[in-house]
Structure 1
Amino acid sequence: MKLLRHGAPGAEKPGLLAADGTIRDLSGHVFDLSGAALDPDTLARLGAIDPATLPVVDAGTRLGPPVSGTGKFICIGLNFSDHAAESGMAVPPEPVIFMKATSAICGPDDDVIIPRGSEKTDWEVELGVVIGKTAKYVSEADALDYVAGYVVSHDVSERAFQAERAGQWTKGKSCDTFGPIGPWLVTRDEVPDPQNLGMWLKVNGEMMQNGSSKTMVYGVAFLVSYLSQFMSLHPGDVISTGTPPGVGLGMKPPRYLKAGDTVELGIEGLGTQKQTFVADI
């Protein structure tokens, strides 16, 4: 099942993508796709609905982030060995964890705002994991039972803010619109192996990243279990699991985004995003 939210920012309604490619409205069956709607029983109920019985949403309607009310947006740094190498950093002996402000979350095709003073805005396609039920001290063997599904996550970064402003990575990761997710939440039953998904990203039509989740250092099940040892993971929380090589920081010389650039990205089976980067005013 591919769940989504459609409509204007702040007024999105729940929906799903039908097999025929139409968007169908779920407002008559669930109030919103917040964490409370992501528990296994609710997902099973929604999955039993015949999409043909649901109202069709107009083609071209904006898609918002597929999950609302996310409490934590947790990111994993340097989780691809080849990306760590291009960044000039060693593969960490344990996952590097940082937070991205939830106010950065936006729709998959919304404009991304380059913040004032930015000279090093960069791109990162990532596999996002959405939690479906509270996880605390869970084992790696059981960890995927706590996952509602997966999303495409664009971990936009401002490298100078991240590494040159005397602080943790969070300040370079949390600018408004720096967290596009979607277009939809693909439920776990449709992703039998999250460690075998092709991932790609283009800037102005030029392929920059072309990798696979199979080269992640720490896989999804390990990460869910690992994080749950330090904090409870709640329904609707998003874990962005790291990026393959090909980011602007790793180029020689480095290459960064400017106003007017377009970025397209996608993950096998999870859909695609497309953003135009614009200057803050």
Structure 2
Amino acid sequence: MIRARRETLGMHTLIRGDCLSVMRRMPAGSVDVVVTSPPYNLGLAYRSYKDSLSEESYLDWMEVICSKVARVMRDDGSFFLNIAGSSAQPWLPFELMVRLRKLFTLQNHISWIKSVAVGEVTHGHFKPVNSLRYVNRNHEHIFHLTKQGDVELDRLGAGVPFTDKSNIHRRQHREDRRCRGDTWFIPYETVRSRQARYSHPGTFPVALPERCIRLHGVKPDMIVLDPFMGTGTSLIAAESLKIRSIGIEADTTYVRFARKRLRAMIAQGDGTDALMEDGTQ
């Protein structure tokens, strides 16, 4: 059993501990947005977690964790779950979603596009698959889960400007902004060394949790929770939006990296240095 240790940096709380134990002690209905990327059970080399459970054991474990997420989340809250399958385990994310139907409604299913080819030009970064059977996997899932499926979103807050500006007046839009839709192209830079990625095998860009929070809607007193904090990317996103956050992480080394990144961003003020460190989680 990991004994939880808690510290506060600015508006943010970092907790070293097991997320199940920590969430059991959190007040019910105390969190507005949960955004996280748990281990995918793909055999990645985490420092203190075995990422190679049987599929059934992994699904059982994630179901219990998500039940605790449902307890601490407000009735009008949003749970953004970033997860991916593999060529060998393509059903895993969808098997999990079927299990979670008893806890949540799948309000939106967003595809995070990490790399895309437009014509003959490739944009973004991907990890190539060396296979005669499978194509490269250039996307991951973001499942937007809510309790009843009726959470009103700030679609324009996470939106994009119109390409055809005539649409603004022709369709009577109040501003040069439209819904981004359910495909999000968020590239991240190629990581060239283990040091550059904080020795963490699972990464996502800061723009991903920030966009999730913006889609839910940023409110002054809201709280964001990441039960698999890693090296603090969700907390960095919360700091950039000037809202409170709680991060839980079992690995002491990752907590130390998260603390270092968050301190640097708070000290910087605008967070430029922290955000440019390739967005590793």
Name the TM-score class by shorter chain.
under 0.3
Structure number with larger C-alpha Rg:
2
Q: TM-score, normalised by structure 2?
A: 0.24
Larger strand percent? 1
> As a proportion of its length, which structure holds more helix?
2
